[in-house]
């Protein structure tokens, strides 16, 4: 059936222009290929659609009727192409996005608001969650996620390298055992969340000390997301490990204290992830480019953001997988 459709489309062009050579020029194929399509169509239907000689051709009565239907196929194809091209010029339709909960307090919300204003025909369904959503199974167009991607059905792009900090409120630390090394963490109460590593690796900032130290954390208070973890840390419930983009304002205001300042935690990567077959001009890909460009522009003014950007400012160089 699909082969008949191709033959019909070629035959419709022949009928419109009145020659095999003219049809070949319009379609970008050879006259012999055009003749082959018409012959195969006639043979498969066991009818004559065109009478032809060395110099001229004319349609049979049945050929005129079949050509009309073939033209309808071409019109439908052109209409479909027009829909796609219009879509590419102006992103539109529903865009389902899933991002980590801690981004609801940062610049990301402003970016989404601006994107929605610039492209008002997009309908954004935004979910804040620290769980790793199943993009294909849940019909999600774009997700921001911490860590590597192993699924070949997905493509990704590096957005940020985030540094996490170990913090606590002054009220919690009052009267507690001192924290001198990562080993001392076992004496303290922790507020954990679903995506938090319970065996974090601390790296010494001083080369004369032991370079790496892995510790096991026992959580006495567990919450759904990092957003709630830092809220409860602010309330004095316990220690928390949270992104510096979220913590530094509270550290500056004295609401949180960075602990073990001579040590740092391993950095994590924030990736933008989308289904592998999403086209370059899909709303998801346009949103990713929009976010990357804004990060670059904002990073030129904001030192904290600049520290987290990829070293290269060329957008194509930030891909880890995919185009």
Q: Is the predicted pLDDT of residue 158 greater than 50, yes or no?
A: yes
Whether pLDDT at 214 is above 60: yes
| Predicted pLDDT at 82 | 60
Write the class of the CATH domain 164-265: alpha beta
**Quick one: pLDDT at residue 165?**
92
Select the more confidently predicted residue: 9 or 168.
Answer: 168
Pick the CATH number of 2-89 from 3.60.20.10, 1.20.140.10, 3.40.50.300, 1.10.10.10: 1.10.10.10
Tens-digit pLDDT profile for residues 259-278: 998 898 888 888 899 988 88
Percent of the chain scoring above 70 in pLDDT? 83
**C-alpha–C-alpha distance, residues 12 and 212, integer Å:** 72
- Average pLDDT of the residues in 124-136: 84
Average pLDDT, the chain: 80
Of 115-124, 177-186, 279-288, 292-301, which one has max mean pLDDT?
115-124
pLDDT level of residue 209 (50, 70, 90 thresholds): low
Comparing 307 with 158, which gets the higher pLDDT? 158
What is residue 83's predicted lDDT score, i.e. its pLDDT? 66
What's the whole-model pTM score?
0.62
* Least confident piece of the model among 8-12, 27-31, 149-153, 175-179: 149-153
What percentage of the chain reaches a pLDDT higher than 90?
Answer: 15
C-beta separation of 258 from 167 below 8 A: yes
Q: What six digits make up the tokens of 176?
A: 């507690």
Distances (CA, A) of 251 to 219, 232, 248: 23, 15, 5
Are 2-89 and 164-265 equal in CATH topology? no
Q: What average pLDDT does this structure show over 141-156? A: 80
For 178-185, the CB contacts below 8 A with 24+ separation are 179/259, 179/260, 181/213, 181/260, 181/263, 182/213, 182/215, 182/260, 182/263, 183/213, 183/215, 185/215, 185/217, 185/239
d(CA 14, CA 255): 78
Q: What local confidence, expressed as pLDDT, does residue 65 receive? A: 83
Mean pLDDT of 209-230: 79
Give the model's pLDDT for residue 320.
43
Tens-digit pLDDT profile for residues 169-189: 999 999 888 888 888 888 888
CATH superfamily placement of domain 93-158+270-321: Periplasmic binding protein-like II (3.40.190.10)
Task: Please report the pLDDT score of residue 20 as a whole number.
Answer: 87
Instruction: Look at residue 298 in the predicted model and tell me its pLDDT.
Output: 60
The more confident residue out of 227 and 141 is 141
Q: What is the pLDDT of residue 166?
A: 93
pLDDT of residue 44: 84
Spatial separation of the C-alpha atoms in residues 192 and 198, rounded to whole Å: 8
Q: Which two tokens stand for residue 265?
A: 């935690």
Predicted pLDDT at 184: 86
CA distance 246 to 230: 8
Q: What ranges make up the beta strands (E) of the chain?
A: 50-52, 57-59, 93-99, 122-128, 142-146, 154-162, 164-168, 191-193, 201-204, 212-214, 221-223, 240-243, 257-258, 263-265, 268-275, 319-321
Task: Answer whether residue 314 shows pLDDT above 60.
Answer: no
Q: Is 205 exposed, middle or buried (0-12, 13-18, 19+ CB in 10 A)?
A: exposed
φ, ψ of residue 262 to 5 degrees: the values are: -85, 0
| Per-domain residue ranges of the chain | 2-89, 93-158+270-321, 164-265
Q: What distance lies between CA 40 and its chain's CA centroid?
A: 45
The first and second tokens of residue 125, run together, are: 């369904």
At 65-111, the pLDDT tens digits run 888 877 777 777 767 766 665 555 677 788 999 988 878 877 788 89
Q: Averaged over 28-54, what is the pLDDT?
A: 84
Closest CA relative to residue 102, chosen from 28, 165, 50, 37 = 165
> Which pLDDT does position 319 carry in this prediction?
43
């Amino acid at each position: 059936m699909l082969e008949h459709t191709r033959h019909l489309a070629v035959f419709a062009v022949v009928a419109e222009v009145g020659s095999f050579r003219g049809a070949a020029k319009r379609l970008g194929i050879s006259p012999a290929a055009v003749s082959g399509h018409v012959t195969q169509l006639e043979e498969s239907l066991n009818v004559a659609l065109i009478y032809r000689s060395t110099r001229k051709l004319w349609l049979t009565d049945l050929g005129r009727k079949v050509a009309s239907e073939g033209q309808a196929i071409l019109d439908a194809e052109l209409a479909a192409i027009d829909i796609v091209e219009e879509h590419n010029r102006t992103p539109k339709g529903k865009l389902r996005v899933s991002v980590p909960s801690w981004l609801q307090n940062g610049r990301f919300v402003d970016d989404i608001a601006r994107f929605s204003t610039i492209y008002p025909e997009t309908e954004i369904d935004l979910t804040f969650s620290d769980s790793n959503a199943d993009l294909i199974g849940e019909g999600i167009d774009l997700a921001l996620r911490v860590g590597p991607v192993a699924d070949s059905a997905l493509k990704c792009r590096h957005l940020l390298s985030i540094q996490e900090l170990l913090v606590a409120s002054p009220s919690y630390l009052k009267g507690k055992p001192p924290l001198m090394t990562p080993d001392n963490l076992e004496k303290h109460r922790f507020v954990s969340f679903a995506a938090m590593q319970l065996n974090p690796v601390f790296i010494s900032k001083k080369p004369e000390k032991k370079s790496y130290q892995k510790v096991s954390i026992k959580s006495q208070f567990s919450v759904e997301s990092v957003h709630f973890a830092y809220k409860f840390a602010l309330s004095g419930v316990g220690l928390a490990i949270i992104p510096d983009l979220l913590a530094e304002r509270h550290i500056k205001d004295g609401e949180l204290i960075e602990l073990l300042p001579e040590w740092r935690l391993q950095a994590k990567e924030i990736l933008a992830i989308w289904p592998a077959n999403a086209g370059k001009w899909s709303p998801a890909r346009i949103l990713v480019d929009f976010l990357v460009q804004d990060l670059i522009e904002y990073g030129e003014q904001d030192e904290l953001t600049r520290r987290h950007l990829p070293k290269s400012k060329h957008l194509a160089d930030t891909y880890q997988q995919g185009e």
